[in-house]
Every structure is written in C-alpha cells, then in structure tokens.
C-alpha cells in the first residue's frame, strides 16, 4: 500500500483583537514563528512502526487547512489530531474518504472522543499508536470495515524499545526545529493539562543511548539542527538528567525543553545542561499569586507548594546561562482582574528572558473540562477549535469573560512592549555576567 502521514501543524488562534495585537508585537510574533514549524513526531513514530513492504510518505496540510493533492494517491492516510485543528482534520478526512482513500485518525483529541472521530475516519486509534499501528495497516490492507483500535487492548509501549522516528521522511522541508522525546509522561497531574489524557500511565524515561541515536538520525538529515524535546517534564529524575546531559555535550547541539521548577535546586545539573547546549527551559509558573494555585496540581499540590521559590529559582537557572520561558495561565478560578497587573509586576521584577501568557483552556478529557462542564461554565460547547490557549470559551470565576479578554489585550501590549522585553532580556544577560564573574573569582 501507499501510506500517507498527514500533519496539520502551525499555530492556531481566533480572537481577532489578539491576532491584531500579535501582528504588531515583535516578541510575540517571533516566538510564534519559531515554534510554528515543527514536524509531527507522532507520525514519524508511526512511520517507523509501519510493517515492511509499504511506501510511506509524510505530508503537511497547507496553511489554509487544505490537503496537498498528492495525498489522494495514497491507499491509507494517517491523520494526527489536536483539538484546535480537529474540524480541519475532519473536513480533510471526509474529502479523502469520498475520494475512496482510507483514513486513520489518532492523537490527543480523538483519544478522548473516539465516537466523534468515528463519523469521519475508517479507523480511529486511542492512546499511543506505536504498537497498534501495524494492526491498523493490516486492517486497511484487508479493507476491513471501520472500527476503533484502543492501545489499552495491546501490549503497553516500552519506552526502552522505541524505534528511531523516520526523520529521513522530512526531506528538505524548512523546519527550524526537530523534536525528540526523552521521556513520556509527567508525575504531576495538573487539572488543565491536555497531555495527561494520553498518559494515564506513569512517567517513563528513555535510555540515554536511544536518545543520542535519535539525535544522530536527525543530524544525518540536517547539519546543525536545533532540538526541541517534546517532553512533558524532562528533568524529573535528576540523576538520569545528568547522564543525559553528559551524553549530549559532545554533540554540540542547542536545545529547548519543558520541565518543572525543581531543576533550579540542582546547580550541578544546571551546569551540565548549559554545557550540553540547553538554551531555554519552559516552566509553567501558572500564577503570580499563590492563592490561585491551590489544588491545581491534584496529586501533591506541587504548584502551590513551590510558589514561594519562583523568583529565586528563575534567577538561579538564568545565572547558569539558560533562559527561562515562564508561562502564566490567565483566568484561573483564584484570579480577579488584579491578576493582569500582578503578572506585569512579576515581569518587571523578575527578568524572565521569555514570558508566555495563555488563557485557561478546557481541553476535552481533562479534569478541568469535566468540572467546568458540570458547573455550566463552558460558553460554546464542543467548539474544540477554540482550544487554542488564546481564545476565551468559559465563564471565569473571579471576573467576566469580556474582562478576561480585555485584561489579556492590556497585558499583551505591556508585557511584550519594547521596554518590558528589553528589561527582561538585559536582566538575563546581567545575571549571566554576574554569575560568570563570581565563578571566575571562585
């Protein structure tokens, strides 16, 4: 068979006011451009798990949501789904099926809503696709009738036995970053987190040698790749994290990852990360006030417990030459309209190199979605396309939805202003210089 893998990448946001502001604010737009073009690692894994004897090709949907003409030459097309692009994905799937092409859908969104997806796809897959995919391919070969495959019905995925994602299929597409997974899952259970729906399983690290093997496969197709670790929380295990950094150092890479604030507690790890090429860590600070954090992380109240250490932890990480992208969620139940001033004050006091503000978003399958639905606080039910992290689609508790939107516009203009950005960037360079002088004296 000829199998097509179809990714729908890019960034999504609908609020016209925010888009207008975004277009005029350099800091904001630069970041969007940087992250918008990443290949779909999930599909590259599927390619690697495809049984021999089939031709596999990777495609990206066009920026207007249409599919490239070549996918119609495939016998089977695999589509990977996120909520924000799900209606575009369903429309493409409908067109393909009408033209006689078999369609398989998997990924985060359809894992939560397989019945919805089954109206648009021949084969729907819930959970991690690695083990299930060969069975889907076999079903398509035999033209079996539509059905849903659940990863939980197959042997669990062993992260110590993952193949090399088929980076070679990306050809010369202009990706500015390549994704690699070092681990799957996160020990924390934040009520808003959309990744957890996939990862009902425990936090699983990969063997360091496999990670290096995968990076070498990227280097074989791109000379100086910037690596983005597509993890939920990379440095949970500090001992393993150090081993990983020691192995990365000789590769002379630059990389980015998402992790939690506890990396700041281990200066040796921070040193090793810098030497290994870590350029930025993205950390969910979530709120500039402690009161709004209570209960958000449902296992051990991690976010509330670590709140008091944020400013100091950011200083420690950045003084090691690693920039921090601190993320705030606006509209948590504990937030009042004062939160916008409070985030700005934090941004003017603690020089985060990058700062990200997003709207509280009820992704399907999350405890947050369940709670807001129960409380009748979702504004447009089933508008998954609004799950962008930038569009307001719920009634906040401590303010009205229009107040939340207005506050975000107000904060966006100020937080990403030239003046505020310069303060944050200069602050980072100053911290790094001071740390170097102290280290030199020591």
Q: What are the tokens at 74?
A: 């495939």
Give the CA distances from residue 86 to residues 80, 122, 385, in Å, rounded to whole numbers and listed in that order.
9, 16, 7
Among 27, 40, 214, 357, binds ligand B12 (CB under 6 A): 40
Among 8, 74, 137, 261, binds ligand B12 (CB under 6 A): 8
The footprint of ligand B12 on residues 278-337 (CB under 6 A) is none
Residue among 231 and 333 whose Cβ is closer to ligand B12: 231
Task: Return d(Cα 397, Cα 431) in angstroms, integer.
Answer: 38
User: Counting contacts by CB under 6 A, is residue 148 touching ligand B12?
Assistant: no
Residue among 84 and 248 whose Cβ is closer to ligand B12: 84
Task: Return d(Cα 25, Cα 14) in angstroms, integer.
Answer: 17
User: Counting contacts by CB under 6 A, is residue 41 touching ligand B12?
Assistant: yes
Among 3, 4, 6, 7, binds ligand B12 (CB under 6 A): 7
The footprint of ligand B12 on residues 77-136 (CB under 6 A) is 78, 80, 82-85, 104-109, 125, 128-130, 133, 136
Strand order, beta sheet including 55-60: 55-60, 2-7, 76-81, 102-107, 123-126, 147-150
Residue among 161 and 312 whose Cβ is closer to ligand B12: 161
Per-residue binding letters, 234-273, with ligand B12 (x by CB under 6 A) = ----------------------------------------
User: Counting contacts by CB under 6 A, is residue 3 touching ligand B12?
Assistant: no
Count Cβ atoms below 10 Å from residue 423 Cβ, excluding itself. Answer: 15
Closest distance between ligand B12 and the C-beta of residue 415, in Å? Answer: 17
Q: What are the tokens at 351?
A: 């020089």
CA dihedral 375, 379, 381, 386 (to 10 degrees): -130
Q: Is 115 exposed, middle or buried (CB count within 10 Å of its CB: 0-12, 13-18, 19+)?
A: exposed
Q: Which residues contact 72 (CB under 8 A, 6 or more apart)?
A: 96, 99, 101
Task: Return d(Cα 173, Cα 171) in angstroms, integer.
Answer: 6
State how far Cα 11 lies from the chain centre: 11
User: Counting contacts by CB under 6 A, is residue 229 touching ligand B12?
Assistant: no
Among 4, 42, 331, 427, binds ligand B12 (CB under 6 A): 42
Phi, psi of 324 (to 5 degrees): -110, 130
Residue among 41 and 352 whose Cβ is closer to ligand B12: 41
Task: Return d(Cα 148, Cα 136) in angstroms, integer.
Answer: 9
Residue among 43 and 431 whose Cβ is closer to ligand B12: 43
Residues contacting ligand B12: total by CB under 6 A: 47
The footprint of ligand B12 on residues 178-217 (CB under 6 A) is 179, 181, 193-195, 198
Closest distance between ligand B12 and the C-beta of residue 271, in Å? Answer: 26
User: Counting contacts by CB under 6 A, is residue 346 touching ligand B12?
Assistant: no
The footprint of ligand B12 on residues 371-410 (CB under 6 A) is 387-390
> Are β-strands 178-180 and 226-229 bridged in parallel, bridged antiparallel, or unpaired?
parallel
DSSP one-letter code for 388 = S
Q: What are the tokens at 192?
A: 């808003």
Residue among 368 and 431 whose Cβ is closer to ligand B12: 368
State how far Cα 165 lies from the chain centre: 18
Judged by the rule CB under 6 A, the positions of this chain that interact with ligand B12 are: 7-13, 35-36, 38-42, 45-46, 78, 80, 82-85, 104-109, 125, 128-130, 133, 136, 179, 181, 193-195, 198, 230, 232, 363, 387-390
């Amino acid at each position: 068979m000829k199998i097509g893998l179809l990714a729908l990448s890019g960034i999504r946001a609908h609020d016209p006011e925010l888009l207008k502001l975004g277009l005029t604010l350099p800091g904001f737009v630069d970041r969007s451009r940087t992250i918008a073009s990443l290949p779909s690692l999930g599909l590259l894994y599927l390619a690697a798990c495809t049984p021999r004897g089939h031709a596999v090709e990777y495609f990206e949907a066009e920026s207007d949501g249409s599919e490239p003409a070549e996918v119609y030459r495939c016998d089977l097309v695999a589509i990977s789904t996120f909520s924000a692009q799900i209606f575009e994905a369903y429309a493409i799937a409908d067109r393909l099926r009408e033209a006689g092409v078999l369609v398989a859908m998997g990924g985060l969104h359809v894992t939560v809503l397989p019945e919805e997806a089954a109206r648009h796809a021949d084969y729907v897959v819930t959970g991690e696709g690695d083990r299930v995919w060969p069975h889907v391919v076999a079903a398509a070969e035999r033209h079996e009738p539509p059905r849903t495959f659940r990863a939980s019905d197959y042997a669990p995925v062993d992260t110590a036995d993952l193949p090399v994602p088929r980076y070679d299929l990306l050809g010369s597409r202009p990706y500015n970053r390549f994704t690699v997974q070092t681990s799957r899952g996160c020990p924390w259970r934040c009520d808003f987190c959309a990744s957890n729906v996939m990862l009902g399983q425990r936090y699983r690290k990969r063997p360091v040698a496999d990670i290096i093997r995968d990076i070498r496969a990227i280097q074989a197709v791109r000379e100086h790749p910037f690596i983005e670790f597509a993890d939920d929380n990379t440095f949970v295990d500090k001992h393993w994290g150090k081993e990983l950094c020691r192995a990365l150092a000789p590769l002379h890479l630059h990389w980015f990852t998402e992790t939690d604030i506890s990396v700041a507690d281990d200066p040796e790890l921070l040193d090793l990360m810098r030497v290994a090429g870590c350029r930025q860590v993205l950390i969910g600070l979530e709120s500039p006030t402690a009161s709004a954090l209570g209960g958000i992380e449902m296992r051990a109240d991690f976010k509330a417990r670590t709140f008091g250490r944020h400013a100091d932890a950011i200083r420690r990480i950045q003084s090691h030459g690693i920039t921090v992208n601190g993320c705030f969620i606006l509209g948590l139940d504990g937030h009042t309209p004062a939160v916008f001033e409070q985030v700005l004050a934090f941004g003017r006091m603690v020089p985060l190199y990058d700062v990200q503000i997003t709207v509280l978003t009820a992704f399907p399958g999350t405890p947050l979605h369940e709670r807001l639905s129960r409380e009748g606080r979702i504004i447009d039910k089933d508008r998954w396309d609004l799950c962008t992290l930038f569009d307001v689609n719920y009634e906040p508790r401590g303010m009205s939805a229009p107040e939340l939107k207005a506050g975000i516009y107000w904060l966006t203009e100020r937080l990403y202003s030239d003046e505020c950005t310069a303060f944050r960037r200069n602050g980072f360079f100053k911290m790094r210089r001071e740390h170097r002088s102290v280290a030199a004296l020591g």
